[in-house]
Structure 1
Amino acid sequence: MSDEILDVAVVGAGAMGAATAWHLARAGRSVTVLEQFEPGHVRGASHGASRNFNVAYTEPEYLAWLRDARALWRDLESEAGVPLLETTGIVTHGAGRDLAAATEAIAAGGFDAELLDASAASTRWPGLRFAGPVLHTPGAGRLDADSSVAAFLAGAAASGARVQWRTAVSEVEVHGDDDVRFTVTDAEGRRRVRARRLVCTAGAWTAKTLATVRGVRLPALRVTQEQPAHFRPRDPASVWPGFNHHPDPADPVTSWFRAPVYGMLTPGQGVKAGWHAAGPEVDPDLRSFLADPALTSALVRYAHEWLPGVDATAFREVTCTYTSTVDARFVLDRVGPVVVGAGFSGHGFKFTPVVGRMLAALASR
């Protein structure tokens, strides 16, 4: 057993772990972040240059979180001195969503929202095809994911947090209300470490990391490999909002979709589009990192039919993981000295600074 007793150990330096460390360190807590891979790795869910800051939610709770998240993203930008959240607007369309009801809920939740007809939307955004009403949220936008994670970690370090890379955590055991012990494996070998609090933000590795902890009952967490692609825009100067397209199973025009579609322009890389939560279930330690050909073919068809502003034959795919709960609700909980943040279900990134604040509060009790 190591003689050192850590105050708060954060397992995982992705978005949620980085944000948790940022909040804790700024509040004066002693924080050690333990990440099993190297900086900027591409094995999880937080890498890449773009995420939609989508505000098209109808739940008041999520809309309240989004209001707070917007302010916290701006705080982080100011601290880091780099742009992170760009207001591009997002359009949501498709008969699989009640857009009129969503427009009312979003406006009631404090965000601008307007409902356009297909003709007006097509005139404004010719790179996209619309076949019905379009919900436009002009205050929504795009987050730079890589820069955001780096900014959280840099801010945490500036406030005294330590970040240890290539440091794996296993064999977690609770020995008391302020006593959690675990094995750390790094370049120096294996050793047991003790902490007063452990925050697990290990993404696809959450279930594995907490497998030995008695009393922690996680909901089912399904890990999938997803595969968005960046398509080359026909006009590099064209303006693109973010977009979400919800199919209707009863409509033959969209019934063939593998899932809802999301997308946005990623500067320097192209127009990103992907199926939401359509990928195969995987073990995060045994991923192939190879795209599923059937999903690729369907995505290319989607680009041909619905994205006239891109060359559907010119694209580059990337892979990532989703860790999803059955109802897509997040796991934010504490059992004894162990705090869990998991199950962000492919829509958590926009909430990152708020989730980090919640996890930090749980760890500070």
Structure 2
Amino acid sequence: MRQVYLDYSATTPVKREVLDEMIPYFCEKFGNPSSLYQYGEDAAAAINKARNQVARLIGAGDREVIFTSCGSEADNWALIGTAHSLRKKGRGNHIITTQIEHHAILHTCKALEKEGFEVTYLGVKPDGRIDPEELKQAITDKTILISVMFVNNEMGAIQPIREAAAIARERDILFHTDAVQALGNVPIDVKELGIDMMSMSAHKIYGPKGIGALYIRKGVVLPGFIHGGAQEFGKRAGTESVPNMVGFGKAAELAMEQLTDHIERLTSLRDYFIQEVTEKISNVYINGGMEHRHPGNANLTFDFIEGEALLLYLNLNGISVSTGSACSSKSLVPSHVLAALGIPVERIHGSLRFSIGDFTTKEDIDYTVECLVKVVATLREISSVSGEKGW
């Protein structure tokens, strides 16, 4: 059976070049970077190189990139660290974010609300993007942080980050963005965009799992998140995961070299996929706008069927897709992202996220469309509403 992976927004395979770069640091170059002898110096040099590679991808300085265990940790650190630090200084207790954030942001905000912080959750327009004017109206004299994700993980909307960051800067408010889905998929220059803090993760750009990073602009004072040793400039204690850091660095280097071709190729395959599906299957809807969208994202609603059933049938045909975020895909709770778009619950349940990546081929797309045509027809025939024959 043909195997087709179309869930690159959930995770990506480690590229061979990345793995080859990592392997020596498991065995031959296994030293602790804090040690003063050669083994330690070799490991420390590898970390410095990796930090530079990640920094170059986003237009940052080396010392502005702090490695973490994942994007979720980076999100938690940015929000919790900022909130506690600025409230203690008497700056305020109000945070602004959006309704469509990853749960690493939303759950952290809910936890902060229990501590007495006030949080405003901005809605989005039908295309999945926030309205900068609504952001302006939400600011109060107690606002200390604005956090708007760069690219939505479910329906791929690219947010107006430059405008949002500028609004924050005008009011002397710190601006954070979760760029886990954006990194390596859209051009990012943190200086040009005016970003103060930005979360990243390696496993979305063909690097290893278990390693992420938080960009902290020079001049932004964020308290340390893990206490102990002096690692990561004294901000995050713990013996460094050198192989993972090296892998992140190499993945970032490749992403930077291949960014233009990567975007063009994914956009072409995505548009071809959407065209084929919408021409060959009736009552299919694209969730979110197409103008400002992740190049590999196609979030589609198939009327009159359940997305979970469609996912399982596709899996039986060797095709891997998702009903939404990998962090909530095992839950039957309707997607909070699609709900924020105003999509009815019954249509949300018929939605799937197809995300295309570097190893996706046109043959993969053709096979997926062929299977979709058959499976959708079968499921609609046995659907409880099939008697309507509205398709």
Q: TM-score range by the shorter chain?
A: under 0.3
User: More strand by proportion, 1 or 2?
Assistant: 1
TM-score (norm 1): 0.24
User: More helix by proportion, 1 or 2?
Assistant: 2
TM-score (norm 2): 0.23
